Structure 1
Amino acid sequence: MGRSRSRPVRLVASDIDGTLLGDDAAAARFRSTWEALAEGERPLLIYNSARSSEDILSLVDANLLPAPDYVIGGVGTMMTEGRMRTRMEAFIEELGPALDPAAIAAIIGSIEGAILQVAADQNPHKASWHLHDAEQERIHDIAARLRSAGLDVKLIYSSRRDIDILPRTGGKGSALAWICRELAVDLDEVVVAGDTGNDLEMFEMPLVRGVVVANALAELCRVVAQDRRHYLARASHADGVIEGLRHLGVVR
């Protein structure tokens, strides 16, 4: 495939686990490739992950990933400036009131097979559970039960395992759209990368271009495969991200 002739890329937002991480050698190649870009010319780099912001930044401290400009954590419920590492309170206010974990637990805790994730995976705007191999109909039913209980929340199911309950204003796409508005970056100047269903919101943002790594799960691939804005990489993990960024002219 040849390079895209779309607008230059000003911002790259990437998932971490299964996308930039999963192959240590590939992750090292991504870090060196990114850091080789001239600092004044490289796009802004945002990590957009289910991990907490602190956990994401610990990967940077361990030299597994290049330093980001911003970090979006908790499936779009946390945001941190990357250099000074200050929490972006304006975004947290945008999310609205904290969730009611007891009300959520009363519904999801009664579902056979549902297991509450560890405390480190919870935050005031994110309630996370495991439910393995749930069919789409079952997920729709759970979402309907949450609505019937008067909970104005968003349910995201990914990796055929993870249930994340977020405020309606949460999610990876909503958080990325917010920071793009704050930075005055147009969506057709944005590239996203991911591998699972919790990345789908980013790919569904209008005008955004995406890179789907070769190891991506069907829950993402089947939705974005027919959209010509997005690049389906032949390589897996970080090598796939590099391949996509090369296709888009961001790296050589």
Structure 2
Amino acid sequence: MKQFLLITDLDYTLVGDDEAMAQLNQQLDFHRQQYGTKVVYSTGRSPFLYQQLASEKKLLEPDILVCSVGTEIYINGSQDPDSTWADKLSQAWDRNLVKTISATFTELQPQAESEQRDFKVSYFLDEKIAGQVLPELERALLEQGLDIQVIYSGGQDVDILPRHANKGMAMTFVRQHLEIDVTKTVACGDSGNDIALFAHREEKGIIVGNARPELLDWHNANPNPNRYLATAKFANAITEGLQHFGFLE
């Protein structure tokens, strides 16, 4: 066995079955001590909601925490987001203009203030009208020259981010920071905001068996031998995938 880098989403991916997570945590903790394996959480949650989850569930302390859909990176337990990553995202990002344009779409309901971050503007949107509203929203933002992306996940969450900010680009930044080879990196997810972890990537990917339709539809339309669709759910799916790729016995 040897070192690898695990980057995993939290809600409905690592978290969802407490017993399965406890068993996986035990294996990961041993692997981290023996081989220097690194554990990174990549979540749509803000730091505030992450701390809330960490107080409720027995999570391993991550080596790096990626919050707010890839827009904030906290290294080695730091309370301050990495400034190099923040500087990269600040280019061509106009948060006030994003908010002004988005406010004209009455179908969008703002998320809690804790979820409105420096590089993320977030709303709720009913799944029934998302297919109509999202293209119009993206078009309105792009027409103003904004270099953005609009991500929809979980059947309700709309996140507007800088073009260069998502979980996949954050994964590349983290992997390079840790100096771990792409072939020894594996990402895990369950929903639309995790697509960036898997799209056009050389890293291994694990999609949990309980994944959302938006991710499963994308997975089926974009086959890749580096990606594994587990039959198990939640943390058991991560264990299944890590065994499939030979990272765990």
Q: One-letter code of the match for 1:223?
A: W
In the aligned structure 2, how far is the partner of 1:9 from the partner of 1:201? Answer: 24
Distance 1:202 1:212, change over 3 A: same
Q: One-letter code of the match for 1:234?
A: T
In the aligned structure 2, how far is the partner of 1:164 from the partner of 1:222? Answer: 20
Match of 2:102 in 1: 108
Match of 2:114 in 1: 120
2:139 counterpart of 1:144: yes
Shift, 1:103, TM fit: 2.2
Shift, 1:41, TM fit: 0.7
2:76 counterpart of 1:79: no
Task: Please list the CA deviations of residues 124-147 of structure 1 after superposition, one character each: whole Å capped at 9, or x if unmatched.
Answer: 111001111134353222111101
On the 8 A contact 1:71/1:79 being kept in 2, the answer is: yes
Shift, 1:65, TM fit: 1.1
Mapping of 1:167-246 within 5 angstroms? Answer: 167-225=162-220, 226-246=223-243
On the 8 A contact 2:64/2:74 being kept in 1, the answer is: yes
Relative to the length of structure 1, the TM-score reads 0.88
Higher helix share: 2
On the 8 A contact 1:53/1:80 being kept in 2, the answer is: no
Greater displacement, 219-228 / 150-159: 219-228
Distance 1:195 1:9, change over 3 A: farther
Structure 2: runs of 5+ lacking an equivalent: none
Match of 1:88 in 2: 82
Distance 1:38 1:190, change over 3 A: closer
On the 8 A contact 2:148/2:160 being kept in 1, the answer is: yes
Task: Please list the CA deviations of residues 103-139 of structure 1 after superposition, one character each: whole Å capped at 9, or x if unmatched.
Answer: 2233222224210101010111110011111343532
Structure 1: runs of 5+ lacking an equivalent: 1-6
2:67 counterpart of 1:70: no
Shift, 1:191, TM fit: 0.3
Relative to the length of structure 2, the TM-score reads 0.89
Shift, 1:14, TM fit: 0.4
2:117 counterpart of 1:154: no
Match of 1:165 in 2: 160
- Calculate the aligned-residue CA RMSD, in Å: 2.3
Distance 1:234 1:49, change over 3 A: same
3-state SS, counterpart of residue 210 of structure 1: strand
Q: How many residues align?
A: 246
3-state SS, counterpart of residue 37 of structure 1: helix
On the 8 A contact 2:32/2:38 being kept in 1, the answer is: no
Match of 1:4 in 2: none
Shift, 1:93, TM fit: 1.2
In the aligned structure 2, how far is the partner of 1:184 from the partner of 1:38? Answer: 15
On the 8 A contact 2:149/2:163 being kept in 1, the answer is: yes
Shift, 1:62, TM fit: 5.4
Greater displacement, 118-127 / 143-152: 143-152
Distance 1:42 1:55, change over 3 A: farther
On the 8 A contact 1:56/1:71 being kept in 2, the answer is: no
Distance 1:28 1:83, change over 3 A: same
Among all aligned residue pairs of Structure 1 and Structure 2, give the percentage whose two residues are the same amino acid: 28
On the 8 A contact 2:191/2:215 being kept in 1, the answer is: yes
In the aligned structure 2, how far is the partner of 1:115 from the partner of 1:242? Answer: 37
Match of 1:247 in 2: 244
Shift, 1:31, TM fit: 1.8
Q: One-letter code of the match for 1:27?
A: M
Greater displacement, 195-204 / 143-152: 143-152
